[in-house]
Amino acid sequence: MNYNDFGKTGEKVSSLGFGCMRLPEYQENEKWFIDQDKASEMIGYAFENGVNYFDTAPYYCNKNSEEALGKAVKKFRSKVMLSTKIPLEVVKGPSDYRKTLEASLKRMDTDYVDFYHFWGINKGSFDDIIMQHDLLLEAQKAKEEGLIRHISFSFHDEPQSIKYIIDGSIKRGISMETMLVQYNLLDRSNEEMLAYAASKGLGTVAMGPVGGGRLSAPTDLYTKLTGKPAIATYELAFKFVLGNPNLSCALSGMETLDMVQKNVKIGNDPAVLSEMEWEQLGKAMEQLKKFSELYCTGCKYCQPCPSEIKIPDIFNFYNNHNVYGLTETAKNQFAGYRKDGGKAISDCIDCGVCEKKCPQHLKIREELARVEKILLSF
């Protein structure tokens, strides 16, 4: 496995990080569970092959991810770094920081978390919640007590707000130490701020390195750029992200052992992109913009829907048609989804909850209506 300096944390982080938001699940008596045997096998394989950074959050996998991760790493806890997050909507006062942290530690069955993130923050929540309740001080206290090792944040906002957040924490005298942001070949909007964060000593992690799976289709782009044999697009996407000198780790939400094995192979590959190849790939983004018409990353933050509409699934069906040209597949997927009782835009109660939670700020209701109309027209 390739490892990188993680900012000024003093840690060496694996180039591939394991995102635990898509662990295998099953439903029983209307309740969701994680298949612990499969999850442990996946996480164990990743660890045995050098992955040392595992990321989770309280709401992932129907609120079961933290517990599943804790069980999976129990035998090698001291040899890996765990990351989880505090949802700021639960914070009504300073004491809620400690209360929420302790709940996560209990679910994970661990005495400490290596990286504790202020989850999905923006300029508003930084000012109105973190600074208003002096949560940086609460984080510093937790660090001094050994409950957390590093103060971190994940981010969904305009790129320039990253500078505002980093500078604001430095001014408070309690600096952020690592940052988790979206970054991939399709979405380079945070590229300048990744460089800024690195210049301030933050370790940087990219979420969505393969654009929610949309960068997994076959391509001859690598051959055109380098003259070398073709590689899978997801491999190209990972290589691009890891080719950024200001990026420490690419975080992939892995669903199957096969996916883990493929990604580990990339993380172990000593061949990296040259500076020229990396720059050429960046320029080639213009050729891939058609992928971005419907920029759903499949993060599932919009779930659960009060009307039980599987929004990410429907958008994925559409992208199989629009991006990859798999029109017949998309048609059959949507037809099968509806045949199995899957809810659609006709079931929407127009509450708008999904749009409030979408990190990409998609007009989900409008997009669902448009997409379903197309899928039904085939």
Query: What is the maximum span of the chain, computed from C-alpha positions, in angstroms?
Result: 60
Q: What are 161-192's pLDDT values in tens digits?
A: 999 999 999 999 999 999 999 998 777 889 99
What top-level class would CATH report for the domain 3-291?
A: alpha beta
The DSSP call for residue 156 is -
Would you state the pLDDT for residue 209? 87
Q: At what angle do helices 65-72 and 95-108 cross, to 10 degrees?
A: 50
Are 252 and 263 in contact by the 8 Å Cβ rule? The answer is: yes
Would you state the pLDDT for residue 208? 86
Q: What are 87-113's pLDDT values in tens digits?
A: 999 999 999 999 999 999 999 999 999
User: Prior bond to 304 cis, omega within 30?
Assistant: yes
Place of tokens 């300073």: 94
Please compute, for residue 272, the number of CA atoms within 13 A of its CA located in the half-sphere on the CB side.
14
- Residue-by-residue DSSP string for 181-243: EE--SS--TTHHHHHHHHHTT-EEEEE-TTGGGGGGS--SHHHHHHSSPP--HHHHHHHHHHH
| Residues 142-152, mean pLDDT to the nearest whole number | 98
Check whether 226 has a pLDDT greater than 90: no
Are 304 and 266 in contact by the 8 Å Cβ rule? The answer is: no
Place of tokens 């929407």: 348
Report which of residues 156 and 23 the model is more confident about: 23
Domain residue spans of the chain: 3-291, 311-376
CA dist 167 and 160 (Å) reads 11
Report which of residues 279 and 8 the model is more confident about: 8
Report which of residues 8 and 287 the model is more confident about: 8
Pairing of strands 148-155, 25-28: unpaired
The count of other CB atoms within 10 Å of the CB of residue 211 is 25
CA-based nearest residue to 53, from 163, 257, 271, 203: 203
CA dist 291 and 214 (Å) reads 7
